[in-house]
Structure 1
Amino acid sequence: MHSYLKQILDKKKQEVAALHTNEALTSARNIKFNYTGAFKAALQTDGLSVIAEVKRKSPSKGALATITDPIDLAERYAQGGASAISVLTDAFGFNGSIEDLALIAAHVSCPVLRKDFVIDELQLVEATMRGASAALLIVAVLGDKTAKFIQSCHRFGLDALVEVHNKDELAIAIDAQADIIGVNNRNLETFEVDINNALDLYPAIPSEAVTIAESGIADAHIAQQFKTCGYDAVLIGEALVRSDDPSQFIHQLRERGNDNTA
């Protein structure tokens, strides 16, 4: 396993151990949460949906943006037409926090995705209690536990965005009956990006799944390529946080992504 991912997961195990000392969280595992499917529904539109990400930093590129007011940024995303907001809550690799998610979820009407390295169901309980509608599950991290974690997501009222990077991981996601599948163009072993990854894997994804292309969507032209391929949505972080006008950027993405003549 690449040092970036190993370091993040080693740190995550420490964070999860701390969660198990939180009595409110451990008790909440027994609560019956209402599953609404709001995140999935938000992506099932006729046009290209945009999941706009609040992202301060990445392990490979370092600091991306100084985000002092995550609420303002999320509101600008929503004004631009984002279907959902993705919030990186990992502190070690991405300088995010669960507090960012809670603040944003309380101030925007669109569904919020917790984007983190989930290895324990208490992270899902925490996501629900802080206002998330969905959580990211990474097959490269969970392996054959993916199906169990999808079930846990639904039990705690969350949609599960199941992320894959190659054919083997996609097979696991399909066997786990994932109904929202994201293909990451970033290889978690090398952190290199190749947009052809999502284009190449798309034909193997079941037609009934909601599909999301992730990473490397730097402009509206690339977004249009994924829409033409068949993807329901794109998830964009770096290009948005570096944009001077994220609302207009999202508007352009959706406009170009929905133009089949482009």
Structure 2
Amino acid sequence: MSTDFAAALLRAPRPMIMEVKCQDADGRELLGGRTVAEIVAGYEAAGAPCVSVVTGRWFGGTERLLAEVASLTSLPLLRKDFVTNRGQLRRSRELGASAVLLTARLLAAGTLERLTGQALELGLTPFVEVAGAAEAAAVRYGEDCVVAVNNKDIATGERGAGDLARSPALLPAVRGTGTRCAVSASGIDGPRTAAGLLGAGFDGLLIGTGLLTAGSLTEWVADFDRARVGGPGR
């Protein structure tokens, strides 16, 4: 991998990319009166190996949010936004990102390949998000990418519950890309679901709203640990 983002996730006892975002797809505020610094500190205390930062304006994000998180932690950061050009890749690196989201559904196959290569040239890990087998088949340089199944539908603005059957159904196609780091992302509704996805063979998870709305992050991760012990092996 070109950066330590995937390596950090793969070696973590709790392989969860914990997400900072200001609001959900329905516009519900998620910070709950907490500062970004408090959220990041909580994630570090919970053993997050990596942090995702949503800079897309439809989730209330800005580039300033990424810069702020980068100033607060040395953990590898994923920039989540609709990235479509090299300039955005460079800017992501300048702001402190280690990885950048590339959404296969929004990019022509040739554009996805070009951006993946450019991200690698800049020292960024491509975090390629797919929602179908054809999208997974379009992934190039898969051995150098994190490939993630999005359990939600971007066509509907990721509103509503996720399709949690999508991840296990697409895992063989994701493995077919050659990636060493397969991730299930979005719509993960609780610790037992999270543990089950790891038990099904995923290397990591990306969780945002579920953690930000948890009554206690400490209890959430403790329940996750218990569910992993009681469930099938990875």
Normalization by structure 2: what TM-score? 0.88
Tell me, yes or no, if structure 1 residue 188 matches structure 2 residue 154: yes
Runs of 4+ in 1 over 4 A off after TM superposition: none
Q: Kindly tell me: are residues 255 and 105 of structure 1, through their superposed partners in 2, closer, same or farther at Cα, counting changes over 3 Å? A: farther
In structure 1, the partner of 2:96 is 131
In structure 1, the partner of 2:36 is 70
In structure 1, the partner of 2:182 is 211
Shift of 1:252: 3.4
The structure 2 residue matched to 1:109, chosen from 62, 68, 74, is 74
Residues in 1 aligned to 2:77 and 2:220: alpha-carbon distance in whole angstroms: 19
The structure 1 residue matched to 2:171, chosen from 202, 208, 230, is 202
Decide which moves more: 125-134 or 66-75. 66-75
In structure 2, the partner of 1:81 is 47
- Unaligned stretches of 5+ residues in structure 2: none
Report the AA paired with residue 193 of structure 2: I
In structure 2, the partner of 1:58 is 24
In structure 1, the partner of 2:125 is 159
Q: Superposition pairs for residues 3-22 of structure 1, below 5 Å?
A: none
Tell me, yes or no, if structure 1 residue 242 matches structure 2 residue 213: yes
Q: Contact 1:81 / 1:247 at 8 angstroms: preserved in 2?
A: no
Q: Superposition pairs for residues 243-258 of structure 1, below 5 Å?
A: 243-257=214-228
Shift of 1:129: 0.7
Residues in 1 aligned to 2:101 and 2:70: alpha-carbon distance in whole angstroms: 16
Q: Contact 1:48 / 1:258 at 8 angstroms: preserved in 2?
A: no
Tell me, yes or no, if structure 1 residue 43 matches structure 2 residue 9: yes
Report the AA paired with residue 51 of structure 2: I
For each residue in 1:172-192, what CA deviation from the matched residue of structure 2 results, as whole angstroms up to 9, or x when unmatched?
12x453631000010112335
Residues in 2 aligned to 1:107 and 1:172: alpha-carbon distance in whole angstroms: 36
Q: Kindly tell me: are residues 114 and 247 of structure 1, through their superposed partners in 2, closer, same or farther at Cα, counting changes over 3 Å? A: farther
- How many equivalent residue pairs? 225
Alignment root-mean-square deviation, CA: 2.1
- Work out which of the two has the higher radius of gyration on C-alpha atoms and give 1 or 2: 1
Residues in 2 aligned to 1:248 and 1:110: alpha-carbon distance in whole angstroms: 22
Report the AA paired with residue 190 of structure 2: D
Shift of 1:206: 2.3
Residues in 2 aligned to 1:259 and 1:110: alpha-carbon distance in whole angstroms: 29
Tell me, what secondary structure is at the counterpart of 1:189? helix
Report the AA paired with residue 205 of structure 1: V
In structure 2, the partner of 1:171 is 137
